[in-house]
Structure 1
Amino acid sequence: MDQFDLIVVGSGPAGRRGAIQAAKLGKRVLVIEQGKRVGGVSVHTGTIPSKTLRETALNLSGWRERGFYGRAYRVKQEISAEDLRRRLLITLDHEVEVLEHQFARNRVHHIRGKASFVDPQTMQVIKDDGEIVHVTGASILLAVGTKPFRPDYMPFDGKTVLDSDELLEIGDLPRSMVVIGAGVIGIEYATIFSSLDTQVTLIDPKSTMLDFIDKEIVEDFIYQLRDRNMKLLLGQKAEKVVRENGKVELLLDNGRRIVTDMVLFAAGRMGATDTLNLAAAGLEADNRGRLSVNPETFATNVPHIFAAGDVVGFPSLASTSMEQGRIAARVAVGAIAKEPPKYFPYGIYAVPEISTCGLSEEEVKERHIPYECGIARFRETSRGHIMGLDTGLLKMIFSLKTRRLLGVHIVGEGATELVHIGQAVLNLKGTVEYFVENTFNYPTLAEAYKIAGLDAWNRMGDIKSEI
């Protein structure tokens, strides 16, 4: 029986970062991955595929140039599912090659197979050829990720009624699509297909969407979606879904009927823990398959077993999962793990992008912090005109007492890149004067920071810091 200092189950963002970190500390590390290739959900069905699909759709459709040439403008007149998939395969091959090289360079052992606990320190791995091996680890990191939630009442067939994993394998682009679930995944795919001129209807039982994002940003986002004829049926629930004659009919709880070519069910994901035999290790998952951990060390209730990434729940970002895996691995092998910076960015790769870092205006109000906001619209920048942008909004929130930046929120082209300027100022405890007094490259969208900073500074006036 092979013995390791750390066994990592799963090779997604949390697993690979944790494994490499432990290996760099001189530990003997094993990664167990049940997929055909390393990379986990992030590389094969989640983060990388969806963002590649988005970029391909925007490029081939000419979406970014329509501000100049009109809504009928296309780079490629007839876009097929194969066009989208071709770029995806090239990207995935590159990601897997990089990851395999990282494992080899850092001497991380890895095997393919399904892992399950035999006891708290022993795992059984069933390989593809049926061979069964047993391995033991002084510590174990569970980074198994999630899988789509598939309720029994939804007639999935992989062609007209699909989950988010199956969407990447479609044979033809639908003329119409209903997306059930206005969470991050649902919104990203709904807006991507809308950019390809598919008629998209978004349905969610909740009357609001993206409640963790600043309300003003969400309102601007919703306006942009409706402006391009996306239907948003919020506060409505699909009670019945029936496939018939190549179409799908939905009956909503208010009596409304919708007929569409394709339905994407994207209402939640489940932790992929059902095959791990958690009971043998003294662990128990919640009703969504997620594991509870100490938020500082990512240790479970079994001291030498850790969990990180999407399997521990919110925020379920590739970026935060990597950091969780790194911290968990350091703690697992007895190394010091520094607490990460307080503020991290959240990116939603919809069309348009949304990115946020720090406190929302609603959170500032709840904390009774005197504040002022500064806003810049991308069309106010010269770069925005050059790019043909009619939309795009950057919002910053400042404390009236300390003049420090409290939050930055962006919706529009390049939002997930632009947010890092605000993130740095937040974590370095910068004030409104940073944006007013510093020089930004011209013409750039980053100039929106100066415009928003000046907007806030003008409103704040001569308010003294002691107030």
Structure 2
Amino acid sequence: MHRLIEKLLVNTLTFGIESLFKSNKIDWIQGQALIESFEIQNKTTDDSTQYDKQIKVLLHNKKEQRFKTKHIIIATGSSPVNLSIAPIDDEFIVDSTGALAFNKVPKKLGIIGSGVIGLELGSVWKRLGSEVTIFEAQDTFLAFADQFVAKESLKLFQNQGLNINLNTRLLNAKKIKKSVQVSYTDAEGEHSEKFDKLIIAVGRKPNSENLSNDEMGLVIDEGGFVHVNEHCQTSIPGVYAIGDVVRGPMLAHKGSEEGSMVAELIAGRFREVNYDLIPSVIYTHPEVAWVGKTEQALKAAGIDYKIGTFPFAASGRAQALNETPGMVKIISDAQTDRILGVHILGSQASELIAQAVISMEFGASAEDIALMMFAHPTFSEAYHEASLAVSGRAIHIKQRKSKI
């Protein structure tokens, strides 16, 4: 049933995009494209140069088609990283795409990698009834997230039954009859365990191969990312690159905003992306979301800060919906009180983080948020209370007395 729902949802969204193409008079040509050449067409009196670029497309019917264009946007996305010691067979050992196509719930499920994708898939299949074991090579859980929130998240996920093994190195994984044998090492030595299915979720890589002819001079770094400036312009005049194929977090909303920016720039308008305020979300249950600086990053930079936290256990709305795990954490500058980072663990964190993004985009202080009125009862009140907690004035939890 879940596969049918997934297929219907994907088909609906795909058809919606196709309809938008038609309504906006956009031609959709399906095939493999290559930036083949560009040449200077003319030189204007103001010394600006017009370039005419040519794209070769290998169509699905194996025929070739060429197009002349002034501007090109590379948006080729990314693909799952594979491991030679655990080769994908799309049946027993799968990547993140294959993990969404199981025809039944695996009794025992192994996952390599406890990053965003590994946690999201593990959380889903655990709720559907799998016994989930996650193997992570690093000794720090969610090292890229605020460590206070990361540690609280780890406790919650482990209490839910997710078996998360840190500082564990995969040796190999291979299919044996109708199961997968996983060999790994940890602090106690070498081990072996069998699973019905194994998901490889060790990250993604940019799809940057065969984008252009070598003589075009498209600069791609050693990580496979297309080099761009702050406006997503590549080393080729008139060619832009956005999304997973360029620097920054591999997030759909980041790529979408970059695409909008580039379209506006091509149209001669002003637009930019604030890369300091890209919201991140892990769609587990409960969710984890954040924007801005982490506490460890501020410590490393030697920036003085203040912290305010408020637990959802003290929220009336969270109690009514039995969604009390987690909290909101606000970090503000110790001198200016300007909000530097917001980190949320809990139900609807993906929705609440937008309030933090808006606040920080307008340079709000924790006091600014504390002086606002929030509807009651709502989850968003936790954001209000956390802003009050920055100065020790939270209303619905016991806290140190304010010096004000």
Please, what TM-score do these two structures have when normalized by structure 1? 0.77
Q: CA deviation at 1:334?
A: 5.7
Q: How many Å separate the matches in 2 of 1:344 and 1:273?
A: 23
Cross-structure match for 1:298: 232
How many Å apart are 1:284 and its aligned residue? 4.6
The answer to whether the aligner puts 1:384 opposite 2:318 as a matched pair is yes
Structure 1 position 269 matched with structure 2 position 204? yes
Residue 145 (str. 1) matches residue 63 (str. 2): no
Q: SS of the residue aligned with 2:289?
A: strand
Gaps of 5+ in 2: 39-52, 393-399
Q: How far apart, in 2, do the equivalents of 1:199 and 1:280 lie?
A: 52
The Cα shift of 1:234 comes to 1.4
Q: Is the 8 A contact 1:400 1:460 kept in 2?
A: no
**Structure 2 matches for 1:170-249, cutoff 5 A?**
170-249=102-181
SS at match of 2:214: helix
Q: Quick check: 2:77–2:243 contact (8 Å CA) kept in 1?
A: yes
Work out which of the residue numbers 97, 100, 105 in structure 1 matches 2:15. 97
Distance apart, 1:305 and its partner CA: 1.6
The answer to whether structure 1 residue 285 and structure 2 residue 220 are counterparts is yes
Give the SS at the match of 1:109.
coil
Quote the residue 1:337 is aligned against.
Answer: 270
From 252, 258, 267, the equivalent of 2:193 is: 258
Q: Is the 8 A contact 1:160 1:248 kept in 2?
A: yes
Per-residue deviation, 1:292: 1.5
The higher-RCO structure (CA 8 Å, 6+ apart) is 1
Give, as a single letter, the amino acid of the residue that structure 2 aligns with 1:349.
Answer: Y
Q: Secondary structure at the match of 1:248?
A: strand
CA distance in 1, matches of 2:401, 2:37: 61
Counterpart-to-counterpart distance in 1, 2:260 and 2:370:
37
- Per-residue deviation, 1:364: 2.1
Write the letter of the residue equivalent to 2:211: L
1:347 correspondence with 2:265: no
Deviation, structure 1 residue 288: 4.4
Aligned 8 A contact 1:204 1:234 in 2: yes
Distance change (3 Å), C-alpha of 1:278 and 1:267:
farther
Tell me how far 1:268 sits from its aligned partner.
1.9
1:327 to 2:245 alignment = no
Task: Output aligned runs, 1:41-52, within 5 Å.
Answer: none
- Tell me, yes or no, if structure 1 residue 116 matches structure 2 residue 34: yes
**Equivalent residue for 1:412, pick from 346, 353, 357:** 346
Structure 1 residues 184 and 313: alpha-carbon distance in aligned structure 2, compared to 1, 3 A threshold:
farther
> What's the secondary structure of 1:448's corresponding residue?
helix
Q: Partners in 2 of 1:224 and 1:95 — Cα distance?
A: 33
**Is 2:105–2:129's contact at 8 Å kept on the other side of the alignment?**
no
Letter aligned with residue 336 of structure 1: R
**Does the CA contact (< 8 Å) of 2:141 and 2:154 recur in 1?**
no
Runs (5+) with no aligned partner, structure 1: 1-82
Alpha-carbon spacing, 1:298–1:92, altered in 2? closer, same or farther (3 Å): same
Structure 1 stretch displaced more, 103-112 or 276-285: 276-285
Q: 2:250 aligns with which of 301, 311, 316?
A: 316
Structure with bigger helix share is 1
In 2, Cα distance between the equivalents of 1:118 and 1:428? 44
- What's the CA shift string for 1:150-186, capped at 9, x where partnerless? 2333232111100112222222210111111122111
- For residue 357 of structure 2, the aligned residue among 415, 420, 423 is 423
For residues 260-292 of structure 1, what are the alpha-carbon distances to aligned partners after superposition, in whole Å with 9 as ceiling and x for unaligned?
111100112222222434425322534543211
Letter in 1 for 2:100: L
1:205/1:237 contact within 8 Å kept: yes
Whole-angstrom CA distance in 2 between matches of 1:288 and 1:177:
30
Contact conserved, 2:279 with 2:357, CA < 8 A, in 1? yes
Mapped to 1, the partners of 2:278 and 2:132 lie a distance apart of: 32
AA partner of residue 85 (structure 2): Y
Q: Distance in 2 between matches of 1:98 and 1:232?
A: 38
C-alpha distance after superposition, 1:6-25 (max 9, x if no partner):
xxxxxxxxxxxxxxxxxxxx
Q: Secondary structure at the match of 1:238?
A: strand
Q: Displacement, 1:462?
A: 4.2
For 1:414-453, what aligned pairs fall within 5 Å after superposition? 414-453=348-387
Contact 1:167/1:264 (8 A) holds in 2: yes
- Give the deviation of 1:315 after TM superposition: 0.8
Q: What amino acid is the match of 1:208?
A: T
Name the amino acid aligned to 1:309: G
Q: What CA distance in whole angstroms lies between the structure 1 residues aligned with 2:215 and 2:114?
A: 37
**Equivalent position amino acid for 2:166 in 1:** L
Q: Deviations over 1:41-60 (max 9, x none)?
A: xxxxxxxxxxxxxxxxxxxx
Q: Secondary structure at the match of 1:219?
A: helix
CA contact (8 A) 1:395 1:408 kept: yes
1:449, distance to aligned residue in structure 2 (A): 1.6
Distance 1:162 1:352 in 2: 25
Q: Which amino acid aligns with 1:156?
A: I
Using the TM superposition, give the Cα deviation of residue 329 of structure 1 relative to its aligned residue in structure 2, in angstroms: 3.0
The answer to whether structure 1 residue 127 and structure 2 residue 127 are counterparts is no
1:156 corresponds in structure 2 to: 88
Q: Aligned partners of 2:28, 2:380: CA distance in 1, in Å?
A: 43
Q: Is the 8 A contact 1:118 1:280 kept in 2?
A: no
Moved more, 273-282 or 131-140: 273-282
What does 1:19-38 correspond to in 2, within 5 Å? none
Root-mean-square deviation (CA, aligned residues, Å) is: 1.9
Deviations 1:422-463 (A, max 9, x none): 211111122222333222111111111222122222269447
Q: Which residue of structure 2 aligns with residue 14 of structure 1?
A: none
